[in-house]
Amino acid sequence: MQQPYESPGAVPVESGHAHPMRVLVVDDDPTVAEIVSGYLDRAGYVVDRAEDGPGALARAAAHWPDLVVLDLMLPGMDGLEVCRRLRGHGPVPVIMLTARGDEDDRILGLEVGADDYVTKPFSPRELVLRVESVLRRSGPPAVTRPLSSAGLTADPAARRATKNGTELALTLREFDLLAFFLRHPGRAFSREDLMREVWGWDFGDLSTVTVHVRRLRGKVEDDPARPRLIQTVWGVGYRFEPARTGSVEEG
């Protein structure tokens, strides 16, 4: 049977962070957990490990991680429930590990707030790159001035968003997507554009973008079934259109 990883061959990239970031690896396969943890450790991360859901929640409570690598299929409590419970305690980036071909499960993972997913079998070196990418995108923003348009505000410094004064419960990636749309009103972007600009990836499953746009619409639109703000541009992608409710302000 094919193992859910490739044999270590290449030296993983260095993390580049000034202070070690803590990554929690949750997988009930000890071989996978050991190899993933080894690559992350050599890349400069502090690594905690857990083999099931309750163990993951206990480890997170003891030392809150900067990111979680979470297997979807866990004994007792699956990865989706672990992700929900972690997000109930605070924002944390999550990379979900899924079996190849389980598209419905991958979409469910994104819908409960996973920032990325990697399918088995996978390259540990690629996983390290994905970890670095997610942490980089969820780190301190280059632009910290609040953005405001159409009753929506996004404060990148506080990573806080509101609609008509009411705070929105957004995941890290949903916030990034909203802030990007607010910075570029009236301009159409393809899903490839959004994946590159918001996720920082030049490749990947475009359903990641589709799911996040749908989730964001559910939180910012008055009628998500008939979106007025985040509009679909057929044959292109999506456009944030605040024209009827005012212009974008940044300051």
Q: Check the CA dihedral 199-205-210-211 and report its sign.
A: negative
The model's pTM: 0.65
pLDDT confidence of residue 40:
94
pLDDT confidence of residue 98:
81
pLDDT confidence of residue 249:
43
For 210, list phi and psi in degrees, rounded to 5: -55, -45
pLDDT confidence of residue 120:
82
Decide the pairing of beta strands 160-163 and 166-167: antiparallel
Q: Which residues pair with 237 in a beta bridge?
A: 190, 233
Q: What is the rounded CA–CA span in Å between residue 66 and residue 93?
A: 7
Contacts of residue 198, defined as CB under 8 A and 6 or more positions apart, other chains included, come to 137, 173, 176, 177, 180, 209
The pLDDT tens digits for 4-48 are 444 333 333 333 445 688 999 999 999 999 999 999 999 999 999
pLDDT confidence of residue 246:
40
pLDDT confidence of residue 103:
65
Burial of 73 (0-12, 13-18, 19+ CB in 10 A): middle
Contacts of residue 71, defined as CB under 8 A and 6 or more positions apart, other chains included, come to 26, 27, 28, 29, 32, 79, 96, 97
Number of Cβ within 10 Å of residue 166's Cβ equals: 8
Query: Which residues of the chain carry a pLDDT beneath 50?
Result: 1-17, 245-251
pLDDT confidence of residue 88:
81
Domains assigned to the chain: 22-137 (3.40.50.2300), 147-250 (1.10.10.10)
- State which H helix or E strand residue 141 sits in: none
Count Cβ neighbours within 10 Å for each residue of 203-242 and write b for 16 or more, e otherwise: ebbeebbbbbbebbbebbeeeeeebbbbeeeeeebbbbbb
pLDDT confidence of residue 139:
63
